[in-house]
Amino acid sequence: MRTYSSGMYGRLAFAVSVSMEPDILLVDEALSTGDASFKEKSMAKMKQLVAEARTIVLVSHALATIEELCSQAVWLHQGTMLASGEPTEVIAQYRKFLHFGESAITLEDV
């Protein structure tokens, strides 16, 4: 493990986590690591887990991923909950707060 890059470590951690079929899965920015191939594979696995009605807590700034995977979103800022609800509504409030519009760049990584 000491010789693994942070990206490879993240990939391994994600693979182990989802292969164990957890009751609750906590994912903290793990889908943002790796190349396009890994992102596609991990997104497919996440969609499968969502379809199986698993409980998933996804911590991310990748707005498109949140919109695609989540049924509920919570926006936390400096330890305070500023919004909760449908992902599209919470994301709209978040964009307004940060004063930016919708583009491919802002939807993926903020």
Q: What is the pLDDT of residues 4-48, one digit of tens each?
A: 777 777 778 778 877 887 788 888 876 666 677 888 888 888 888
Rounded mean pLDDT of 61-79? 92
3-state secondary structure of 31: helix
**Two tokens at 108?**
């993926």
pLDDT band at 102 (very low <50, low <70, confident <90, very high): low
Q: What are phi and psi of 53, to 5 degrees?
A: 60, 35
Alpha carbon distance 105, 107 (integer Å) = 6
What is the total residue count of the chain? 110
User: At 107, is the pLDDT very low, low, confident or very high (cuts 50, 70, 90)?
Assistant: low
d(CA 33, CA 24): 21
Which helix or strand (DSSP H or E) is residue 19 part of?
Answer: helix 6-19
Structure tokens given for 26? 């906590």
